[in-house]
Chains A and B, each alone.
Chain A
Amino acid sequence: DTGVSQDPRHKITKRGQNVTFRCDPISEHNRLYWYRQTLGQGPEFLTYFQNEAQLEKSRLLSDRFSAERPKGSFSTLEIQRTEQGDSAMYLCASSSLGAGEMETQYFGPGTRLLVL
């Protein structure tokens, strides 16, 4: 069990550019979540996948954001035409939905995005 990993850990980009982040969940975890955390705030839920299916999207996820989990393993989060307001820490979490128990979400170290 190597934990949830995210890549890159830091990203600096210019306004208007596209960026893509990757998340590798704990192996065999069937659920994967994306959150956004701005300075001084708690994480805010963006979206989640069960296997390859995207089951829920927050209203925070504008049309410029897209997430995929094509084979039910790793996931990517893409932001198109970045804006300065997109500057934040993007956190990924994974969990295993077992029968008869409450799942626990395990978080990765995050990708810190700065849009100039």
Chain B
Amino acid sequence: AQSVTQLGSHVSVSEGALVLLRCNYSSSVPPYLFWYVQYPNQGLQLLLKYTSAATLVKGINGFEAEFKKSETSFHLTKPSAHMSDAAEYFCAVRGGGADGLTFGKGTHLIIQP
């Protein structure tokens, strides 16, 4: 069975500062990993996904994530935060023959002006 742990239910950064959202996964097979963003009262939008093609994955809105097998991590970063980045971010894993995604509990990103 696979699982995802997102460290920090809330992360606050200043506008223009580095964004780092942490995700660690557990999977018995090589995983497929995803980051989704959710704005208030909306569905989830895919930011990026890891499919084993490259360990550094670039996504939309300037976000990227690096897959580190040795650390079982897939942390999400953005060099410079913008006010519009304020949202809930979810890390998800898929693997082991199960086609449904397993999500973490989410990290609420707060951008301070």
Contact = CB atoms under 8 A, between A and B. Distances in A.
Interface of A: 4, 31, 33, 35, 40-48, 55-56, 58, 91, 93, 101-102, 104-110, 112
A43 B99 contact: no
Interface residues of B, number: 23
A112 B105 CA distance: 18
Contact of A107 (B4, B32, B44, B99): B44
Given A42-B104, A46-B100, A107-B43, 4 more contacts: A33-B101, A45-B101, A56-B100, A108-B43
Nearest to B45: A107
B112 to A, nearest CB: 22
B99 A56 contact: yes
A58 B47 CA distance: 26
A42 B42 contact: no
A43 B44 contact: yes
Contacts of A108: 43
Contacts of B104: 42
B24 to A, nearest CB: 14
Interface string B59-89: 0000000000000000000000000000000
Nearest to B92: A42
Which one of B36, B41, B99, B103 has the highest number of Cβ atoms from chain A below 10 Å of its Cβ? B99
Contacts of A91: 43-44
Contact of A102 (B43, B49, B100, B105): B49
Contact of B105 (A4, A40, A47): A40
B90 to A, nearest CB: 5
Nearest to B103: A42
Contacts of A48: 99-100
Nearest to B51: A102
A19 B73 CA distance: 40
B56 interface: no
Which one of B44, B49, B98 has the highest number of Cβ atoms from chain A below 10 Å of its Cβ? B44
